[in-house]
Structure 1
Amino acid sequence: MSMQKSQKNQESAEALAVQALAFVASDPELLPRFLAITGIEAQQIRRAAQEPGFLAGVLHFILAHEPTLLRFSQEAGIAPGEVGIAALPLGNDDHERSS
C-alpha cells in the first residue's frame, strides 16, 4: 500500500472516529457508560481525543455492542463492517507499548 493511500485511510478512519465520538457524546445512555469504561471525565474528552489510541478506543467501544454499532452505522450512512475496518489503522499506536 502506498504511503499516500495509507495516510488517506488514516485520515478517513480518524474522521469516522470523531463522528463516533460525537455520536457517543450526544447519547445520554452511551456517554456515562463510555466515561465509566475509559475512566475519564466528560470535561477531559477533548484533551483525551488528542492522545494516541483514544479514537481507536472510541471505535472499539462502538464495535463492542452490536445495537450501538447498528445505530451508529445507520446514522453515519455506512455499513457496520466499515467501523471495524476504520479501527485498524487507528489501532497501530505501538510507540507507547508497555513492556
Structure 2
Amino acid sequence: MMRHNTQNRSEEAEILAINALGFLASDGERLQRFMDLSGLDVAAIRAGATDPAFLGGILDHLLGDESLLLIFAEDQQVPPERIAALRRKLPGAAVDF
C-alpha cells in the first residue's frame, strides 16, 4: 500500500511540474528567464518535459524564486509548502526545501 501512495504522490508531483512548465511558457519573460538561467533552449525543454528529473528542475526553479513561487501557487490554488513537499517526490531533490 505504501508503494501505491508514493506512486500517487510522484504522479501528482509530475503533473504539478508540467503545470509549472505551462505556467512558465505562458509568459515570454518567465520562459526567457528560465532559459537564461538553465542554459536550455526550447527544443531541450520540449525534450525534457517527460523526464521526472527535468520536471524536478522546473519545480526547483520556482522554489528558488519566492515571488514566482507565490504567483504560481496562487494560480494553481496550491500552498507553496505543498509544492516544496511534492518536489521531494521527484529525482534530484535537495533536502533543504
| TM class by smaller structure | 0.7 to 0.9
In 2, distance between residues paired with 1:66 and 1:14? 20
| RMSD, aligned CA | 1.6
SS at match of 2:88: helix
In 2, distance between residues paired with 1:88 and 1:21? 17
Tell me if the contact between 2:35 and 2:41 (Cα under 8 Å) persists in the aligned partners. yes
Please identify runs of 4+ aligned residues in structure 1 that moved more than 6 A: none
- The aligned length equals 93
Query: What percentage of residue pairs aligned between the two structures are identical?
Result: 35
Could you tell me the TM-score, scaled by structure 1's length?
Answer: 0.86
Largest Rg, 1 or 2: 1
In 2, distance between residues paired with 1:92 and 1:43? 22
SS at match of 1:91: coil
The answer to whether residue 30 in structure 2 is matched with residue 30 in structure 1 is yes
The answer to whether residue 38 in structure 2 is matched with residue 18 in structure 1 is no
TM-aligned CA distance change 1:44 to 1:83, over 3 Å: same
Could you tell me the TM-score, scaled by structure 2's length?
Answer: 0.87
In 2, distance between residues paired with 1:64 and 1:39? 16
Q: How does 1:19-98 map to 2 (within 5 A)?
A: 19-92=19-92
TM-aligned CA distance change 1:21 to 1:91, over 3 Å: same
